[in-house]
Every structure is written in C-alpha cells, then in structure tokens.
Amino acid sequence: MTKPNKNGFLVSLLLVIVGTLLLPFVSSCGKGANANPTGLNTQLQIVNLSPDIQPVNLYLNFIKENTTNYTYPNNSGYFFISTLLPPIQLRSATLAPINLVTVDSTVALKANSKYTLFITGFKSDNSIKKSILLLDTATVPPLGRGIVRFVHCSPTSAPLDLRANDSTAKQWTNIAFDSVSKYVQLPVGNYNFTINLTSSSSNVQFRLPNVTIQDGRAYTIYTQGIVGRTDSVAFGAAILTNNLLLKTTK
C-alpha cells in the first residue's frame, strides 16, 4: 500500500530538481541582452541637458531600453545596450510616448565601445533634434598624459573657449553650441579649468577648479544651462570620465 506513495514522492522530487535546473535559463531569457552583454560589450550614457524636454526614455531599434527616466540635468552613467541596430530614439515618458529625437540613422554603433548621448537644445523650437552622439572610446595617450575634449551644450550661448591653468589649445577655441572639440593631451596633474567667451578671452563664464587628470584617462568637459539664468537651468559646466580607451598608441 505504501509503494504508490513512494513512487509519487520520487516523481515530485524529480520535477523539483528539473525545475530548479531550468529556472536560471528561463530567468536569463527574460532579462534580455543587458543581462549578458558578451559579444556587444557596448555601453551608452545619457546626459539630459535640454531645459524644457521633461523626462524621456530611450528606444533602440524601437524597443525601450531603460527602466528609469532621463531627466535634466542628470547623467545616467554607462549601461550596456541590447542592440547595435538603429534607430536611436528619445521618446517622452508619457502614457502615449511621442518621439522627440531620432539620432542620424547613418550613425552605426560599434561593438566594444562607449558612447555618450548629450540631449541638447529646446523642445519648443526643435533645436533638440541636433542632440549629439559621441564615441567616447579613444586611443591611449602617451605615458604620463590624459586627454580632454570640450562639448558646448548650452543653448543660446555664444562660442566658447576652454582653458587649462590659463592656457588653451586651438582645438578648444571657438566652440559653438552643439559642437565638440577633438581630444587634447595634457600632462597628468591638477588643473583649474575655465570656460571663457571666445569674443572676450578675459570674460570667464564658469570655473572647474582642482580637476585631476590621470594617466591614460579620457575626459569630457561640457557646458549646460542658459547664460543669465539664476534658477535650476543656470549656466554651468561639468566633467565626465570616459575611461574605456583603445589599447593602441597608433
């Protein structure tokens, strides 16, 4: 009389064991490519610098990528993306999402790379459509040096220069809104960066004091906000560390 009960117990135990073994596979399938970036190894960060866009979501190949909205003037930090396929779109974080930005479909994302998407301009005049997608991966500088580039993301601002300890480089001069300079090599050390009007080199718009440039690192200094404002969209600047560099000196 006890044999059927024993067989039933063994069957139940076998089902539990099989279910336990299958659970990780089912779970990994549900999480998508962000859970396993092997093969792509491509990361993106979003910096929302549009004063009037409101929160937005990211869509890659028409599929939503994020779980947290991107809001002004925050930086998402790098995250793995699930596909390299275009288009790259930013849509309003509303019940009926509206497409606000479509990055140039000719821009092909590359594997084993890092990118930053700066959301710039105003929604009100469609200048937001010129938002900038930058490849952050760069050639390793010579030993004892880092590299710095300058991005002008402040709408309505005149062309600007970046200066490091009161010195500048031609690559950092006369940078217009929605423009980015080339990387410039700097010896490792501490720097006081200033952002000046191109038309008046003594007119300092913002200061970034005591910035440490480390060996073999890449940095992006960018502007944000609106000149003349004193509220939450006041003019300012910040610095990002783009620390994935190609392992070559060619």
Give dist(CA 116, CA 96) in Å, integer. 26
Give dist(CA 212, CA 234) in Å, integer. 25
Q: What is the pLDDT of residues 46-74, one digit of tens each?
A: 999 999 999 999 999 999 999 999 999 99
82: Cβ contacts below 8 Å, ≥ 6 apart: 32, 33, 34, 40, 60, 63, 65
Q: What is the pLDDT of residues 169-197, one digit of tens each?
A: 999 999 999 999 999 999 999 999 999 99
Q: What is the pTM of this model?
A: 0.82
Residue 9: phi and psi, rounded to 5, are -65, -40
Q: What six digits make up the tokens of 12?
A: 């139940």
Contact 100/109 with Cβ under 8 angstroms? no
Does 27 score more than 50 pLDDT? no
- What integer pLDDT is reported at residue 33 of this predicted model? 36
| Residue 29 three-state SS | helix
Q: Which helix (H) or strand (E) holds 4?
A: helix 3-31
Nearest to 45 by CA among 58, 54, 34: 58
Q: What is the pLDDT of residues 196-225, one digit of tens each?
A: 999 998 999 999 999 999 999 999 999 999
Locate tokens 């006369």: which residue? 174
Enumerate the domain spans of the chain. Answer: 34-136, 138-250
Q: For 34-136, CATH number?
A: 2.60.40
Locate tokens 């980015």: which residue? 180
Per CATH, 34-136 and 138-250 having the same topology is answered yes
Nearest to 90 by CA among 136, 57, 125, 50: 57
pLDDT band at 247 (very low <50, low <70, confident <90, very high): low
| Fold designation for 138-250 | Immunoglobulin-like (2.60.40)
